[in-house]
Amino acid sequence: MEAFLGGLAVMADPYVLMMVVLGTVLGIFVGALPGISGSTTIALMLPMTIAMGPIPAICFLGAIYCAANFGGSITAILVNAPGDPSASATALEGYKMAEKGQAGLALGMSAVSSAIGGIVSVVVLIFAAPMLARAAYNFGPPEYFALALFGLSMCAAIGGDSAVKNLIAAALGLLIATVGMDLTTGVERFAFGVMELSDGIGFVPVLIGLFAVGEMLDQAARRYGRAQIVFADAARVPGWPEMKKCMRSIWIGSGIGTFIGALPALGATTAALIGYNETRRWSKHKEEFGKGSIEGVAGPEAANNAAVGGSMVPTLALGIPGSATTAIILAGLIVQGIRPGPHLFTEQPTLLYAVFASMLAANVFYLVMGLYMARLFARISLIPPAFLWPTVFVLSVIGAYGPNQSMGDVYVMLVAGLVGFLFRRAGFSPAPLIMGLVLGAMVEETLKQSLIIFGDDVTGFLGRPIALVLFAVTAAGLLWPVVSRLMRRGARAASA
């Protein structure tokens, strides 16, 4: 409780509070722009946070993450073009409501249910993360190696639908993580005599290239259509009849979003889609779905915003990203010299609880902004691409060059952008690559430390119960698809 009060006290700092407000406004702004997601924006803003200091920087990034998910619902409802992928489920019923003249009510319910889902998940984060950290407090290098290996095993499920493509992307991320000098042996790897690569390839230019430049190239290759915005005077606060009707949906969405967000693989989009399906399953008014159901707006919006807090649980407590966006936030923590994990709760509790408090504040801020400024934010979607994407490119170059004042980082960013574009065209997701890049260094470092501890005897892992449990969970996760396929084949053969 003392640490939480300390985090609230940090929020009283005008500079930190200003960063949270700016992050919230920026998150809603970019969330309402089809094609620019919260992860793209956080990747772009990452270099600009280096000089802020750890607490303002992470509060700023966390506020963007919270608000971008809500911002995507504005254009999903008014334009039928989700600004963020997580708002795709909201468009199914929200746009139907807008066509019936209920756009204001849909926007109001979206803001209220998003805020409730976000607050519920942050409260769970406040209680769950310290408990998980206490359980993992005795982790040493062998346990961290097993944990990072478990995180890599989830790469098959994160991002796209093809497990093979996800694993290929993750392997590429691991390869990128090995570039540079090996600190144990002093041998350069894959530098090819290029001095800029001797220190390795940084997180920032790769992230900016994959998300911002890759998306820019992909959007440039498409034909643009002019979206028609549905007229709405303002968002309307739902009355008691609407809230009573939707409370079941909001709690279902909040629970599903928090649980799915905490799994290091799925993310807010999956949470929203499952939240929509479960809301429809348990609704007493199933006949309204497909025609503009307000429950169909409340459920997925609560789910995709609850997934934000849920995904921060493994990110902060274990150092394992819960989604592609939290992988970028994890990189932001590392850039600030902070290593996420159990030790954070004893070494820097004020920073952690300041992040929790900033996420609570961001949910309140975007609730107010969503109710009073939704129509203004919706107009953002009408910015011509001819102005939007050149601005994104300039910011990308500045962001890649800024941290080290190196043109080598700009070239890395451009190559990463080309890779990101080719990934999108070939059906690959950049998320597994990020996971491989973030966790690759951790896997290598902790494995070497473990082998030094064990005297190069790999059987030393057998004496570490926690590591063995994590190895078993990893093996079960990798083998379960094969086992389930064999079981289904055996069942079909028996029935035949």
Tell me the pLDDT band of 104, cut-offs 50, 70 and 90.
confident
**Choice between 305 and 79, residue whose per-residue pLDDT is larger:** 305
**Of 222-231, 386-395, 403-412, minimum mean pLDDT range:** 222-231
Most confident among 277-291, 345-359, 403-417 (mean pLDDT): 403-417
**Of 16-30, 67-81, 400-414, minimum mean pLDDT range:** 67-81
Cβ distance 307 to 258 under 8 Å?
yes
Quote the CA–CA distance of 337 and 290 in Å, as a whole number. Answer: 49
Domain assignment of residue 412, yes or no: yes
Which structural domain range is residue 153 located in? 2-463
Domain assignment of residue 279, yes or no: yes
Asked if residue 35 has pLDDT above 60, the reply is: no
Most confident among 151-160, 211-220, 345-354, 466-475 (mean pLDDT): 466-475
Asked if residue 176 has pLDDT above 80, the reply is: yes
Quote the CA–CA distance of 247 and 100 in Å, as a whole number. Answer: 23
Domain assignment of residue 209, yes or no: yes
> Which runs of E-coded beta strand occur in 185-316?
188-189
The pLDDT > 70 percentage for the chain reads 83
Within 10 angstroms of residue 289's Cβ, the number of other Cβ atoms is: 17
Strands 188-189 and 180-181, how do they pair?
Answer: antiparallel
Asked if residue 232 has pLDDT above 60, the reply is: no
Most confident among 194-203, 330-339, 443-452 (mean pLDDT): 443-452
Domain assignment of residue 484, yes or no: no
Domain assignment of residue 386, yes or no: yes
Domain assignment of residue 233, yes or no: yes
**Of 40-54, 148-162, 397-411, minimum mean pLDDT range:** 148-162
285-297 pLDDT, tens digit per residue, is 777 777 788 888 8
Mean pLDDT, the chain, rounded, equals 78
**Choice between 107 and 274, residue whose per-residue pLDDT is larger:** 107
Tell me the pLDDT band of 26, cut-offs 50, 70 and 90.
confident
Mean pLDDT on 367-371: 79
Asked if residue 162 has pLDDT above 60, the reply is: yes
What pLDDT was estimated at residue 226?
46
Domain assignment of residue 144, yes or no: yes
Tell me the pLDDT band of 227, cut-offs 50, 70 and 90.
very low
**Of 44-48, 61-65, 155-159, 394-398, minimum mean pLDDT range:** 155-159
- Give the list of residues 6+ apart from residue 113 with CB closer than 8 angstroms, or none: 246, 249, 250, 253, 297, 298, 299, 301, 302, 305
**Alpha-carbon separation of residue 291 from 288, 299, 390 (angstroms):** 6, 16, 39
Mean pLDDT on 326-351: 76
Helix 324-335 with 430-453: angle, nearest 10 deg: 50
The tally of domains found in the chain comes to 1
6-16 pLDDT, tens digit per residue, is 667 777 788 88
Give the single-character DSSP code of 189.
Answer: E
pTM above 0.85?
Answer: no
Domain assignment of residue 61, yes or no: yes
Helix 324-335 with 54-78: angle, nearest 10 deg: 160
**Alpha-carbon separation of residue 80 from 34, 97, 99, 279, 388 (angstroms):** 10, 11, 10, 20, 20
